[in-house]
């Protein structure tokens, strides 16, 4: 242990919409403790740093293995998964025993650290981020996906819909309908699938609408915060080109009276 003491402070921005405030909790430093385990300690003994009884902090969690994406929050101002955020790593990096937690700002607040990410799932529905299981598509006898393509698509498939990319994106805000980088990257994933390519245009057309690829400002923040290291800017670039081709294809297939 270093000379920073045996305790640390979680400074949590909590509350409900319209009534948010900071509350501090002092906890014992434990080897390999993460933010989730710290929140669980508070849940077992909800007493703040002033010694006052309070309500347990509300947050969302699922797998605790950085797979489900549900425990996304801001830790020291940066979006990330709290299940893999080790307390000691933050103390060593910042040389401080104060760690600040806050909910995402780009999604409706439910309470404390829990936000509603429904908009992301609605965007996935909009772009048909799935492969049809029924149909009579003939994909031939050749391998469905080459090893090279399979390797590239595996990375895209690790998206957790955690919201970190949208939280870091300046184009995702209350004045914009931008669906965010994750759904657009999923268009690339499913359009590259041997079965998904049969409904490629049905995914590209929604991307051409308001809130689609044209609303991306190329800030490139998304790729810097993605917990899975997904090449989101590459996906945005590829889908931008594919969407432009789809727009031209649709235009020239229109009757002259509709052009």
pLDDT digits (tens, 9 = 90+) for 164-181: 999 999 999 989 999 999
Q: What is the pLDDT of residues 128-167, one digit of tens each?
A: 999 876 666 565 655 577 888 889 899 999 999 999 999 9
Looking at domain 7-114, what is its CATH homologous superfamily? Beta-grasp domain (3.10.20.30)
What tokens appear for 27 in the block?
């906890």
- CATH 3.10.20.30 segments of the chain: 7-114
- CATH 1.10.1060.10 segments of the chain: 117-252
Q: What does the pLDDT average to over 183-193?
A: 95
User: What per-residue confidence (pLDDT) applies to 131?
Assistant: 86
Q: What is the pLDDT of residues 79-117, one digit of tens each?
A: 999 999 999 999 999 999 999 999 999 999 999 999 999
- Domain 117-252 sits in CATH at 1.10.1060.10
């Amino acid at each position: 242990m270093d000379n920073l003491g045996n305790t640390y402070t979680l400074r949590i921005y909590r509350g409900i919409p319209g009534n948010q405030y900071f509350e501090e909790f002092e906890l014992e430093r434990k080897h390999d403790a993460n933010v989730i385990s710290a929140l669980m300690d508070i849940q077992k003994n909800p007493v703040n740093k002033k010694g006052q009884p309070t309500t347990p902090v509300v947050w969302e969690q699922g797998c605790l293995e950085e797979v489900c994406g549900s425990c996304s929050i801001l830790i020291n101002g940066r979006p990330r998964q709290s299940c893999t955020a080790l307390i000691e790593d933050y103390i060593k990096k910042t040389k401080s025993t104060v760690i600040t937690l806050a909910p995402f700002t780009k999604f409706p607040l439910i309470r404390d650290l829990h936000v509603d990410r429904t908009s992301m799932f609605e965007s996935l529905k909009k772009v048909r981020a799935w492969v049809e299981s029924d149909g009579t598509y003939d994909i031939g006898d050749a391998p469905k996906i080459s090893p090279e393509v399979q390797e590239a698509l595996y990375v895209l498939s690790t998206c957790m819909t955690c919201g970190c990319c949208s939280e870091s994106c300046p184009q995702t805000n209350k004045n914009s309908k931008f669906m965010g980088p994750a759904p657009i990257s999923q268009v690339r994933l499913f359009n590259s699938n041997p079965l998904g390519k049969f409904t490629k245009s049905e995914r590209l057309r929604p991307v051409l609408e308001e809130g689609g690829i044209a609303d991306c400002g190329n800030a490139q923040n998304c790729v810097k915060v993605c917990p899975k290291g997904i090449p989101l800017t590459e996906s945005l670039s590829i889908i931008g080109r594919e969407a432009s081709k789809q727009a031209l294809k649709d235009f020239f297939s229109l009757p002259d009276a509709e052009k």
